[in-house]
Each structure stands twice: as structure tokens, then as C-alpha cells.
Structure 1
Amino acid sequence: MSGVPDVSPADSWAALEADPNAVLVDVRTDAEWNFVGVPDLSSLGKQVVLIPWQVFPTMQVNGHFAEHLRKAGVTADSHVYYLCRSGARSLAAGQAAQAAGFPQAFNVADGFEGPVDHEGHRGRVAGWKANNLPWRQR
């Protein structure tokens, strides 16, 4: 596979549900997980893998990202769906993962919160939350 295709949140959920080897990796920061929430995969018998792509507060790229994927049990055979706030960091993480030997990378389009709406709020227009997919406060 070349490149990291965008997959809608609903299609990502369906893939996670259908494929026992599919994994959701949330690449946001600790602060985002704690204050905004995280996807809830418990009804699928899975847990989201939390590995920051960039480390808060400096936002430097996590130089151990691929190592953390391996430690979390992600393999080259895993279909891995990367999620961030709006889809940019997760795309970069998926590209880096492909380069590190995880070829089956998918970007969850619009991320967890999606773009801002006309009132400047996220989570209402597109993304995981706007698609009413399960999530919880951490």
C-alpha cells in the first residue's frame, strides 16, 4: 500500500468491529485525552491505543513512536487506524508508521473533533464525536 488513505469515522468503526486485527491508535496528547475524551471501544472488546505523535507541551515529534506501536502489540499485519483532533497529526503518524514497517495505515478523516463550526466549536461538524461514535471522558 502506498500512502495513507483517509477513512471516515463510521467506516473506521465498522473496520474495527469486523476485523479482529484492526487497531485504533489515538495520537493526540495526554492533555487532549484527559480534557477532551477518548474513543470508547469497549463494546467491541477492544481498547484504543494511546500513543502521542507529538509530546506536549513542546509538541516535538515522538521519536519512539514506532517502538511504542510495537510495545502495544501492533504488527505489520495489523490494520491500524490513526486518530488525532482533526486528521493532520494522524496522517503524519500513519506515514511514519508505514516507513517504520507498519504498511496497513489508515487516517481517520476529520479526527476526534473535526473542524470548527460557524460558532468556533469542534465536535459538531465532522469527526468521531459528530458521528455519534462511542467515546468517554478519561
Structure 2
Amino acid sequence: MKVLTARQAWEMLEKDPENATGNADDGAPRPILVDVRTPPEWMHVGLPDADAMTAPLLCITWQPDRQQEFVEALLEAVPDQQTPLLFLCRSGVRSHHAALLAENAGYADVSNIVDGFEDQHGPGKGWRSSGLPSSYMPLSGS
């Protein structure tokens, strides 16, 4: 598993064609950002802004007591196990566990965003504190 800061992950995901990797015409699968936080976190804290990225944003909650459900949802959403996956949570802990599960399920290119969406510890400042694009998405039925 690779370890990235939020800023390093952004450099892989941003829309700027001069800086983004995995352009559609090079044949390589684009990375997917997998946010493993909970629906209340997505709703109240925010999400990385998918409109500002070349990569899709996939939201699948990781919970320690529902690991098999997480793996099944990931395999259904991303059947190509060569697709680079970048895992994000609040602080880098849940995303670390989710990334390990993805590796064990056979995904070949897995990264953990170690400073998470909110935190300002470790090698980076976190997605939001780094000023990276984020948005709020009210969840239907909430």
C-alpha cells in the first residue's frame, strides 16, 4: 500500500490536464477516490469536490463490523482490480483499514491518504485544511 498526503492525492486527481495523471487517451485507468466516511460526515463535514477532479468519487462507508459488505460493494463498484484506488477518511485510520481490505481483495494499486479529509497531523494538513476543493452534498432522505 502506498501512503499519500491529501495534496499528493490531489495532484493525481485534479482536472488540470498539465498536472493530472492517467489521461483517458493513454489507456491507463483513471484513479478513483474512495471516501470511506459515514453519510453524516459527508453531509455535515463535506466531500472532496468531484467536479474539480478528473477522477470519480466513490463513497462507501467502512465499518469494522461490516468489512465483507465493504469489500462486496467495492468489487461491484470497481470490477477492474488494476484501477488505482485512493482511500480517504477523516484522519487516515479508517482509510488505512479499507485500503488493506482492498489489497487483500486483489486490488493492485492501493493508496491511503494519511492525513485524511479533516485532520492536521502527520505529514500533511488534510484535504480541507490544505484548501483542496470540497463541497457539501445533502443526502436525500436525511
User: What is the TM-score normalised by the length of structure 2?
Assistant: 0.78
> Which amino acid letter does the alignment assign opposite residue 56 of structure 2?
Q
% of aligned pairs identical? 33
Q: Distance in 1 between matches of 2:88 and 2:41?
A: 12
> Which amino acid letter does the alignment assign opposite residue 134 of structure 1?
P
> Aligned residue for 1:99?
104
Alpha-carbon distance, 1:8 to partner? 1.0
The gaps in structure 2 that reach 5 residues or longer are: 14-19, 24-29, 138-142
Alpha-carbon distance, 1:45 to partner? 4.1
> Which amino acid letter does the alignment assign opposite residue 18 of structure 1?
T
1:81-96 alignment, distance < 5 Å: 81-96=86-101
User: What is the TM-score normalised by the length of structure 1?
Assistant: 0.80
Which protein is richer in helix relative to its size?
2
Q: Does 1:9 align with 2:6?
A: yes
Aligned partners of 1:40 and 1:47 also within 8 Å: no
Structure 1 stretches of 4+ moved >3 Å? none
Alpha-carbon distance, 1:41 to partner? 2.2
| Structure 1 vs Structure 2 CA RMSD | 1.8
The gaps in structure 1 that reach 5 residues or longer are: 117-124
